[in-house]
Structure 1
Amino acid sequence: MRKRIVFTGGGSAGHVILNLALIPTFVKEGWDVSYIGSINGIERDLISKVEGVTYYPIATGKLRRYFDIKNMKDPFNVLKGTYQSYKIIKKVKPHIIFSKGGFVSVPVILGGRLNKVPSIIHESDVTPGLANKIAIPFATKVCVTFEDTIKWFKEKEKVVFTGAIVRDEIFKGNVEQGLKDYNFNNKKPVLLIMGGSLGSKKINEMVRANLTDLLELFQVVHICGKGNVKHSLHQVGYKQVEYLTDELPNVVAMTDIVISRAGSNSIFEFLALKKPMILIPLTREQSRGDQIINAESFRKAGYAEVLHEEKLSKDQFLTTIKNVYSNRDQYLMKMDDYEGDFSIQPVVSLIKDVAE
């Protein structure tokens, strides 16, 4: 009998990337693969490009830590999504559910519990996210990237340390193809700037305020978020894109240093590919503070420098970029000492064990 698995997770690219890394293994091994996500979220766009996966959209609400009138309506969307998930899971009859988190995952984990289907949740950050905190009591196992995360759990027998996982395709980038695609040359270093799949107003402002100085030193790829491309700034050596999917491995391969948010998936990919980093984590007003903790752990390890958005100035931004590039060999030496292998195998094995 063919095994069946349901994946879930969404709201941002970070809540989908690990699923994209895992899905091909299960498709190749003949599993029936389904994905439950939101109706209009980024996960639907990303998963629609993957062969062998049936996508089921559900209603969902956003779990906010601040007052918003939508907070009155969203609990009903979560209930509706739970009912829809229950029906989908009852129909699909999966042996296992795997969740990467995000608010869309809560109804799916609840729907799985109601159908008595075991589930595994993956937590990438040092501290569990709000959606995962809600869903964890209903899950069978929880995978964590950082060993320090274990202390946040009461039911420690549920927790499995799997380490950082990096999708195979990110290692397959081609430097020459990346340079050709962006009409860059190999005489000037490449600076990659990414503010997350939704973009960052502050990071975009800093890049554009320093653009003339940056282009004297670097060729720049600027991932600025949906709707944030400024066409008046197009020029040689400066490439703006809303976001990258298939092209990303080639772009990262040709990159010398990176400016990024501090989501766990992205920063471990940069570590795996040995790209010195300048991390600008989401502020506590924008998040629960998980990116600040992630960024600080990478700074202490010597992989990155950290800039805090609320204190960021034009001069500090440019000076830090110059310093990190000048001292890049020191960051590369620290990265060489990292002992993890970034394999998906520990998670794949756990899924198969729980699905038995």
Structure 2
Amino acid sequence: MDTGPDRYEFASDNTAPICPEAWAALQKANARYAPSYGEDRSTAGVCDRIREIFETDCDVFFVFNGTAANALALAQLCQSFHSIICHRHSHIQTDECGAPEFFTKGSKLLLVGGANGKIDLGEAKALVARQNELHSHKPGAISIAQATEFGTVYTRDEIAAIADVARAHDLFLHMDSARFANAIASLNCAPKSITWEVGVDVLCFGGTKNGTAAGELVIFFEKEISREFDYRVKQAGQLASKMRFLAAAWLGLLTGDVWLRNAEHANRAARQLANRLQNEAKMESVFPVEANAVFVSMDHRLASGLHERGWRFYKFIVPDVYRLMCSWSTTDAEISRLIADVVTIK
């Protein structure tokens, strides 16, 4: 049996290289001196391009990673006595080490269920109705993930319905979008149509999983909400001195819609992987494949057999649901090698 080196092609979209366009933009930015702390042309260029893409005059801020983006955005929306309604499998609940609670200085995450990683609107309404007196945390925001942790995508109507609930109860709507590009590619819609047009107040727009090395954007669609957010970013240690290197990679993504092409490729690869697992290995996807993630059940023999052959991937749901991620760089050959090993072991 050929164990070979560790194989990380399907472990996460974080394991993918920097895409060529982002790399070239970084090299270009590295060829000269430039002002620091976001006063450079690249940073201004990204902010202008984001306003073009979203077709609105929004405020744009850079942070190093998704946890910082979510935690600081929510801290801007909520005070310590507020609560944040989110899905029980949301990233802010399961994978951010309490950062939202820490940076809000005490906001409580209120968890709801819902099929395929999406918030159940009825549960959310009931939860808001119960938190209506002084002895409970006061609901301050609803947070949704787009795409979700299970690789599914909210439609425009689903987001609008959640936004209606938020507005009815004077709540903010936060969108955690480490894979926003994949959601847009899946829906084939204008970015504005699933964000500010339907009531999203703040968007955490991910670039790392789309082809950059680091750097996420926090986008506020109402300038009054973002007041003094730059101080919050600085205090949290998220203001990059050489900001141009975060911004340059983003310029590489946003110029010529590379960000969309990267996401379309990753989504297409996931669909191909899911179809081949179904047709050649008789393995059904646990959740609809709407972005760049494929979830399948594996028994111990199959999972351990793949690990022995060097494949690295995560168990996502106990006892036996595993996640396989595709990225901008996933190739047909990589999919074929994984499928061949799956079929051999099965």
Q: TM-score, normalised by structure 1?
A: 0.34
Q: TM-score, normalised by structure 2?
A: 0.35
Q: Which has the higher contact order (CA 8 A, sep 6+)?
A: 2
